[in-house]
Structure 1
């Protein structure tokens, strides 16, 4: 036998003797890797559950805050009609003793409606004198004016916000350039 053959046989015997230890070591490493993988999966699942919970809480809060949106849009026409009624009353009728209480009643109704809007987070958009904001205003016409171009010079219909969302854009007339 040569020295190479003897060395090769010695290496085989040594490897065979250590094989159970290596097999146990490999199995332990596999188990550690599997445990780590399962731990990561658990953390991802917990994070996803937390994200879903937050999203549901936000959706529920939005539903509570904006639940009256449809009703609010419908009631805006009532507010518009009351404002038109007040604007149509001539000064002589306002001073007439026979109609003075009717005018006062309409004014009180408008004030109460404004209070209800305020309590429910509905606010009128201030338009005249402001720059046109396409997120809040809808330009209906350009008007000759001394104001800077793009400035709102006339409001045809009031716009409203509910909390931080647009309920109805204001219909406006905008100053045109030169």
Structure 2
């Protein structure tokens, strides 16, 4: 036989090939169905986790809002408790008839000590700059500039004390700021 005369193999599927091919698609279909079922189970699991996480975030947000509301409502409770004895002292002083001026003064001084104690317990401090202290716009409110013997940009006079609550300004001190010595020319 001539090498060119070799028979050409038949590339058409035969009966034995059909049986082998029939098994492969069935196996592939079963594998795909198992993969699909596995993927669907994972999707359901992840969806459940997402819903639970969303619910947890919503619960945390709601609890935080409730905590903020309670803090606003009851945040001054200790300060209010500190002021009750001060009010009691003032009412007792007013209930006393026929007091001398000295007795009134002693009572007012005792009440002021109670109030100062309440301020200290609740971290409330005065802002009372002395003449010559550097003007601090964060703690002082300038009412005017005046000529004075103090250097320019310093406090010449305090008109009203200010107050801090735990380093936060509740009310700035009202001050007059020095413009420096007056020109005598």
TM-score range (shorter-chain normalised) is 0.5 to 0.7
Contact 1:149 1:176 survives alignment (8 Å): yes
Matching residue within 21, 39, 42 for 2:49 = 39
Contact 1:132 1:174 survives alignment (8 Å): no
Deviation at 1:140, TM superposition (A): 0.9
In the other structure, the counterpart of 1:109 is 111
Contact 2:149 2:180 survives alignment (8 Å): no
Deviation at 1:101, TM superposition (A): 4.8
Q: Which runs of 5+ in 1 are unaligned?
A: 76-97
Matching residue within 24, 30, 33 for 2:34 = 24
> Residues 65-144 of structure 1 correspond to what in structure 2 (within 5 A)?
65-66=75-76, 100-128=102-130, 129-134=133-138, 136-144=139-147
Q: Which runs of 5+ in 2 are unaligned?
A: 1-9, 87-99
Deviation at 1:114, TM superposition (A): 2.0
Q: SS where residue 40 of structure 2 aligns?
A: helix
In the other structure, the counterpart of 2:94 is none
TM-score normalized with structure 1 length: 0.59
- Please report the RMSD computed on the Cα atoms of aligned residues, expressed in angstroms: 3.9
In the other structure, the counterpart of 1:176 is 179
Change (3 A) 1:110 1:3: same
Change (3 A) 1:53 1:21: same
Contact 2:140 2:174 survives alignment (8 Å): yes
Residues in 2 aligned to 1:107 and 1:22: alpha-carbon distance in whole angstroms: 90
Structure with more helix by fraction: 1
Deviation at 1:19, TM superposition (A): 1.1
Computing the radius of gyration from Cα coordinates, the structure with the larger value is 2
Post-superposition Cα deviations, 1:117-164, rounded to whole Å, max 9, x if no partner, equal 334443222433244133x32211123345454333321111123345
Q: SS where residue 75 of structure 2 aligns?
A: helix
